[in-house]
Chains A and B, each alone.
Chain A
């Protein structure tokens, strides 16, 4: 490589590094701040200003959080939702994407249009709510799983991937007279691992984060998912309703309500932060696959 950087170029490069470094700090600091708050003793939690570290880390706030049966139950509900919802949604999406990749199949265009149209027009909030109500799946896990099970975006990504596979792979099986179902199961699915991983992670994160459907469809407190409880505690100030009595008694308890809230946020964010670096490459791969073209 020929060195051609002028002085201005060098200044520009330095600017680039500073820009990216600042972005990294600004992105990371809010999480760090809250993490430090969640392990700070009462005396330090009340101090305003930057929180870079704490002198006497304590897990008291986490102990309080794990003493709350309701928070534990909502964590469990969320896990069940993620597992059942992801398996169901991924299965149906994979099953549907395969026929869609057969462009010569009669009615393929019509079906593709029916699915793509949902990307640009929808019935909206209230009719969807009334539908779930009329189907009598309100207050059941199906209200959280069925309506979002098949999305046009995931389908198109998976179909695009299947179309990019060399047809010869399928043809060899065809000669043996295998049925489409067998080909799908034995050849297409194993080849689709990268796209299946991507879509699976998207679906799982969506289920973990989705609060709105759970908020409007689940009426029993015992069926609340973690984001619903989070919303109530963090944004509607219902912390005391979810903790054992006296746990955050003002003035005397070992930690402030803010510390406990911080611990709750960490409990719900740490699963994502922990798995995230390992799965990140799949996420980005997926975006490349997902040229939205119909």
Chain B
């Protein structure tokens, strides 16, 4: 590297737009080298599997490999829509996602607003610390905590139900209750952590807004509906878009660690179905087709929702890109 300052080199390359591409790239030489390992990993491990997606249109044969396996057109997709278990997985995915969207999504907003009203800082900090904790615990652990609490014979929940005169419920093996448990345990695990972004937005509110409202005689509830809620609306929209993009996912780790064959009818989602078909039954091509369908719909969803938000509010900054 020459002794000329990098700054000069950068402005040099900026000012001389008519220079060839290579000349403009030259001052950054070392940076391209630094970019290489990371970019290589992304290309191999993120785009490599995309190359492998072609087996969704082929009959994958381990001996022949991805490239040489014979093309079969849309055979696996036709089979997907003709298989009852597969369409059931699709319906379950959408239902579970929407249940989570309706019931789980507003909870962290509610928590952030409530925490914002708490004046005792020590209590607030302790509450935050404890409520974030479950986010960092794996679903395997959460599943075993749930098994313990919901056990039909000795779990606390069923003991309380029995004390109240009811008969014990086997929540995790009962199709009527399983989705309820999915939603509740999801709220339990993520409510605290998901509230962080909203708390961050709240801490950005100009305190003079509240002071002015108090002078004008606004009650607490009025301050919340007129100042607090509108302030978190943009970030809430962004979070909503992000969750819309995840509608096809529905939470693999959660379902996978909680479900059992007794509740497949309400619990089996696309990802768990792909896992059983692909990695247990080894129908690689068929399960890849199901996975590809899921990814493409997911992609279309994110792009569409993002476009719509941009159309509705072009300068609120709530779009993703």
Contact = CB atoms under 8 A, between A and B. Distances in A.
A236 to B, nearest CB: 11
Interface in B3-20: 3-7, 10, 13-14
A180 B220 contact: no
Nearest to B30: A180
Nearest to A15: B114
Contacts of A224: none
Contact of A118 (B46, B65, B117, B292): B46
B6 A33 contact: no
A126 interface: yes
A124 B45 CA distance: 11
Given A30-B148, A95-B34, A24 B42 contact: no
Interface in A235-294: 235, 258, 261-262, 265, 268-269, 272-273, 276-277, 280, 283-284, 287-288, 292-294
B52 interface: yes
A34 B132 contact: no
Contacts of B154: 46-49
A56 interface: no
B196 A284 contact: yes
A234 B144 contact: yes
Contact of A124 (B134, B156, B291): B291
B46 A124 contact: no
Interface in A87-141: 92-93, 95-96, 98-100, 102, 104-107, 111, 114-116, 118, 120-131, 134-135
A96 B145 contact: no
Contact of B1 (A98, A179, A261): A179
A48 B159 contact: yes
A130 B220 contact: no
Contact of B298 (A50, A120, A177, A277): A120
Interface string B115-136: 1011100011011011111101
B294 A124 contact: yes
A53 interface: no
Given A127-B49, A184-B34, A104 B144 contact: no
Contacts of B53: 123-124, 127
B52 A23 contact: no
A108 to B, nearest CB: 9
Contact of A23 (B50, B191, B287): B191
Nearest to A228: B140
Interface stretch (B90-98, B173-181, B273-281, B308-316): B273-281
Interface string A219-243: 0000000010011001100000000
Given A106-B24, A126-B288, A212-B253, A288 B200 contact: yes
A92 B144 contact: no
B182 to A, nearest CB: 16
Given A126-B284, A126-B288, A180-B30, A277 B129 contact: yes
B174 to A, nearest CB: 18
A213 to B, nearest CB: 11
Interface string A24-44: 101110110110010000000
Contact of B219 (A6, A131, A269): A6
Contacts of B217: 4
A184 B117 CA distance: 43
A146 B130 CA distance: 33
B43 A114 contact: yes
Nearest to B216: A4
Given A125-B271, A149-B41, A179 B30 contact: yes
B7 A26 contact: no
Nearest to A264: B144
Contacts of B28: 99, 102, 105-106, 180
Nearest to A12: B220
A251 to B, nearest CB: 17
A62 interface: no
Given A124-B49, A262-B148, A280-B129, A27 B159 contact: no
Interface string B265-276: 000000100110
Nearest to A3: B214
A126 B38 contact: no
A276 B136 contact: yes
9 contacts: A2-B214, A5-B220, A6-B219, A111-B35, A111-B39, A115-B42, A123-B46, A124-B295, A287-B197
Given A27-B134, A104-B14, 14 more contacts: A20-B118, A20-B127, A23-B111, A33-B156, A96-B34, A100-B35, A105-B25, A125-B287, A152-B42, A171-B6, A175-B5, A177-B4, A227-B140, A284-B132
Interface of A: 1-2, 4-6, 8-9, 12-13, 16-17, 19-21, 23-24, 26-28, 30-31, 33-34, 37, 46-51, 92-93, 95-96, 98-100, 102, 104-107, 111, 114-116, 118, 120-131, 134-135, 146-150, 152, 155, 170-171, 174-175, 177-181, 183-184, 205, 208-212, 216, 227, 230-231, 234-235, 258, 261-262, 265, 268-269, 272-273, 276-277, 280, 283-284, 287-288, 292-294
